Every structure is written in C-alpha cells, then in structure tokens.
Amino acid sequence: MDKIFLKNLRLLTRIGLFEWEKQIEQIIRIDLEVGFDISKAAKTDDVNHSLDYKALSNCIKDYVSDNKHELIETLIENIANLVLVEFKVEYITLSISKPGAIRGSEDVGITITRSN
C-alpha cells in the first residue's frame, strides 16, 4: 500500500480538562500517514484519481476549529474516523500532540492507527 503523509500541521483549538484550558486556544500538532493506492493517478496523470491533500488538510482544520474536546483521545479518534470515511483511505496513522503541555517536556501526545 502506498503512503501519503502530512507532517507538523499546527492548529489552534480549545482542548483540556481544566477551566483555564477551556478559555484559551492552544496549539496542537498533527502528523498523519494514510494508505492510498496512487497507481491509477500515476498511470493516468489525472488528479481525479489521487487523494486531494488540500481537501484532507482543510477537513481536519475545519473539524478542529469547529469542535471542542476535553481529551486528545476523543479528538484523535474523531479525526481518524472522519478521514477514513470521507477520503476512503485504507488506514490512517495519526499523531496529535500538545507542545509545552507538560513542564520540562518538549511535547506530549498520542499516536493511533485505524483502518477500514
């Protein structure tokens, strides 16, 4: 299976358990890899047979900006399911992190893999 990736998509969102977190926007970082057969697009040189990277990133941006979550666990599952359904990819490996969320650590986050 071919792999398409998107790295270091940085978005502002409201996420967290504490009241102060719910009042501010925080940066999250998203990395993803999806399984998608690019052979037909490569053979035909036709964009209609490829994965629309811009639409994929806009879909994620829109979801993140339109929704609030307390847990990264909820956010990551919802984005994974959205991408699997909307873009008909074979699988998604998705990482979401909150840079600076833990004092003394550069980053903290979760990585999951889901498939159809």
**Domain ranges, ordered by start, for the chain:** 3-115
* Per-residue confidence (pLDDT) for residue 94, from 0 to 100: 98
The percentage of the chain sitting over the pLDDT mark of 70, rounded to a whole number, equals 100
Mean pLDDT, rounded, for 81-86: 98
Q: What is the DSSP letter of 99?
A: T
* Per-residue confidence (pLDDT) for residue 100, from 0 to 100: 79
Catalytic site positions: 98
Rg over CA atoms, the chain = 15
Task: Name the CATH architecture for the domain at 3-115.
Answer: 2-Layer Sandwich (3.30)
For 80-109, letters b (16+ CB in 10 Å) and e give beebbeebebebbbbbbbbeebeeeeeeeb
Report how far residue 48's alpha carbon sits from residue 59's, in angstroms, rounded to the nearest whole number: 18
Reply yes or no on whether the pLDDT at 85 is more than 80.
Answer: yes
